[in-house]
């Protein structure tokens, strides 16, 4: 599917409405699918599926990455997340993550202009926090405003400090199509470059991990 081309502690952050982050509007049964490539070899897949019913949108993300040496698994990453949207507002979010042997879980429910979140930090310690509902979610598919200084970390449920840089436009070839894409750099716990098409659709990702380059390559037609 490639188209035509704690609340007080974060209250002072520069927040941007989710509806302002991107022009991308997924249709029912749309899919964004990537092969994740590391050092020329497939590391796994990242797939996002969209289910629409009128103004309601359900977004399911499935990330499955593995580094192995023969039959031995050296690193495993799994992230399953579901977003529930209504009229352009995120109402509920839940995720499960396996990362470096740690199992994390997040559940978030919108209450007015904030989210009540039960999450877990990277030491697997449970936490309960409130965050502004205006924080963009780190699932990438909606894009981001370069003015934002924090996002909702979907692995832990915490606010994650970030710095965005607009790197301008580039022409990419995606599944044989030439597309003018906007390149955005997000620097946080990891520095990630993200590319979005003219309609705001997420079409590429690239970052450095453990001294090697990881590239997302679109695979859906």
**Where are the chain's structural domains?**
7-218
Q: Is the Cβ–Cβ distance between 121 and 136 less than 8 Å? A: no
Ranges of residues in the chain with a pLDDT under 70 are 1-22
The sign of the torsion formed by the CA atoms of 125, 131, 136, 137 equals positive
pTM of model > 0.75 = yes
State the pLDDT at residue 15. 37
State the pLDDT at residue 74. 77
State the pLDDT at residue 175. 87
Q: Which residue has the tokens 């609340």?
A: 7
DSSP secondary structure letter of residue 91? E
Q: Is the Cβ–Cβ distance between 164 and 148 less than 8 Å? A: yes
Beta bridge partners of 95: 81, 106
DSSP secondary structure letter of residue 40? T
CA distance 3 to 125: 42
Query: How far are the Cα atoms of 43, 52, 84 from residue 80, in angstroms, in the given order?
Result: 17, 19, 14
State the pLDDT at residue 125. 93
With residues binned 3-state (H G I as helix, E B as strand, rest as coil), the percentages for the chain, rounded to 5, are 5, 60, 35
State the pLDDT at residue 5. 32
N-term to C-term CA, the chain: 5
- DSSP H helices, the chain, are 7-10
CA distance 82 to 217: 22
State the pLDDT at residue 1. 55
State the pLDDT at residue 171. 96
> b/e per residue, 10-38, with b = 16+ CB within 10 A?
beebebbebeebbebebeeebebbbebbb
């Amino acid at each position: 599917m490639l188209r035509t081309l704690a609340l007080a502690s974060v209250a002072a952050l520069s927040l941007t409405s989710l509806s302002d982050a991107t022009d991308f509007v997924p249709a029912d049964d749309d899919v964004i699918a990537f092969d994740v490539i590391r050092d020329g070899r497939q590391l796994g897949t990242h797939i996002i599926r969209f289910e629409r019913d009128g103004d309601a949108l359900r977004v399911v993300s499935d990330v499955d990455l593995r580094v192995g040496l023969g039959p031995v698994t050296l690193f495993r990453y799994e992230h399953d997340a579901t977003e529930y949207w209504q009229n352009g507002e995120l109402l509920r979010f839940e995720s499960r993550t396996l990362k470096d042997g740690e199992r994390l879980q997040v559940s978030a429910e919108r209450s007015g202009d904030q989210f009540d979140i039960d999450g877990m930090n990277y030491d697997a310690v449970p936490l309960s926090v409130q965050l502004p509902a205006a924080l963009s979610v780190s699932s990438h598919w909606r894009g981001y405003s370069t003015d934002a200084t924090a996002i909702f970390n979907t692995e832990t449920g915490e606010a994650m400090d970030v710095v965005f840089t607009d790197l301008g436009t580039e022409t990419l070839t995606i599944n044989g199509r030439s597309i003018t894409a906007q390149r955005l750099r997000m620097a946080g716990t990891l520095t990630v470059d993200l590319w979005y098409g003219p309609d705001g659709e997420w079409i590429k990702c690239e970052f450095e991990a453990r001294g090697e380059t990881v590239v997302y390559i679109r695979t859906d037609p």
